[in-house]
């Protein structure tokens, strides 16, 4: 029976990069796939348009409980519309909202969770959402943190960085592959190759190298500069693909800010080898 393979992550952890890699690997095109075509290759469970198309209703007219009850129906629809296993991006933690799971277990075939050092996430989060670093840090430490909805996106139930990570890595019975952002940067052939193996795709080195090149940070940021990006914030000129560095937090966070994040997430950091 077909199901969803979730591409999960806390925001600003490399999910769009992974989507670009998979789209290029699966299609094996002669030139890089446009970043603005990614939503056609890999669906996102938070896009308002999917829920309005399925239900024929405006999300602005529905209560939070009514939207929650739509989630599993939309997830079923994703699978039925393709008739095969399908990749779906999500920033949701695994939790229950208004009595309904955010991640529908009945159609879940597996998941790939991408994690990134929260010190770097905080800096990227701050730039992307245009909030100061302390507010970004506080958000990553708030157990019940949610990103407010917009005209394009539903409310995103994130939790703290640790709660989000644990919800996926400790989920009972979930077929899961965890990949660290840092390994994708520093050991791309090995790390992306392990993703391909987990997904039981043909692992061809030439195809792997091409997909990595076609989804490189340089390629994605060049595309954004020339054609914008449909998933960028419409109310901001902030670049979606800003730096992509590992360890960039050292140029931005104070000692007290580092200590706050380490203290809040020490157990999870150790578990992930940070």
pLDDT digits (tens, 9 = 90+) for 85-120: 999 999 999 999 999 999 999 999 999 999 999 999
pLDDT over 90 percentage in the chain: 72
Q: So what's the pLDDT on residue 237?
A: 54
Q: What are phi and psi of 45, to 5 degrees?
A: -80, -5
Pairing state of beta strands 146-147 and 156-157?
A: antiparallel
Identify the pLDDT of residue 234: 46
Contact between 58 and 88 under an 8 Å Cβ cutoff? The reply is no
Q: Which residue has the higher pLDDT, 62 or 221?
A: 62
Q: What is the mean pLDDT of residues 118-137?
A: 91
Q: Residue range 215-223: average pLDDT? A: 83
Say which residue, 243 or 24, is predicted with more confidence.
24
Residue 122 pLDDT exceeds 90: yes
pLDDT tens, residue by residue, 140-188: 999 999 999 988 899 999 999 999 999 999 999 999 999 999 999 999 9
Four-residue CA torsion sign, 122, 233, 156, 86: negative
Alpha helices in 215-254 (DSSP H): 217-227
pTM, entire model: 0.91
The pLDDT of residue 232 is above 70:
no
pLDDT value at 233 more than 80 = no
């Amino acid at each position: 029976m077909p199901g969803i393979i979730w591409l999960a992550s806390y925001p600003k952890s490399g999910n769009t990069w992974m989507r670009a890699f998979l789209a290029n690997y699966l299609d094996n095109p002669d030139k890089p796939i446009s970043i603005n075509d990614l939503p056609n290759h890999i669906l996102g469970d938070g896009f308002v348009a999917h829920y309005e198309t399925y239900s024929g209703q405006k999300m602005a007219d529905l209560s939070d409980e009514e939207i929650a009850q739509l989630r599993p129906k939309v997830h079923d629809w994703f699978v039925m519309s393709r008739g095969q296993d399908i990749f779906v991006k999500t920033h949701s933690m695994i939790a229950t909202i208004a009595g309904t799971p955010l991640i529908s277990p009945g159609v879940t075939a597996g998941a790939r969770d991408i994690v990134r050092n929260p010190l770097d996430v905080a800096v990227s989060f701050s730039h992307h959402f245009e909030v100061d670093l302390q507010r970004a840090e506080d958000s990553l430490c708030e157990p019940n943190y949610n990103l407010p909805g917009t005209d394009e996106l539903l409310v995103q139930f994130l939790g703290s960085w640790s709660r989000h990570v644990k919800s996926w890595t400790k989920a009972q019975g979930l077929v899961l592959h965890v990949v660290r952002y840092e390994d994708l940067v520093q050991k791309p052939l090995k790390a992306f190759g392990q993703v391909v193996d987990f997904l039981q795709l043909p692992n061809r080195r030439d195809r792997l190298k091409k997909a990595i090149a076609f989804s490189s940070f340089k390629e994605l940021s060049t595309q954004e500069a020339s054609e914008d990006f449909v998933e960028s914030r419409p109310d901001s000129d902030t670049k979606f693909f800003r730096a992509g560095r590992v360890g960039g937090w050292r140029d931005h966070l104070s000692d007290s800010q580092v200590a706050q994040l380490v203290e809040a997430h020490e157990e999870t950091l150790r578990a992930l080898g940070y």
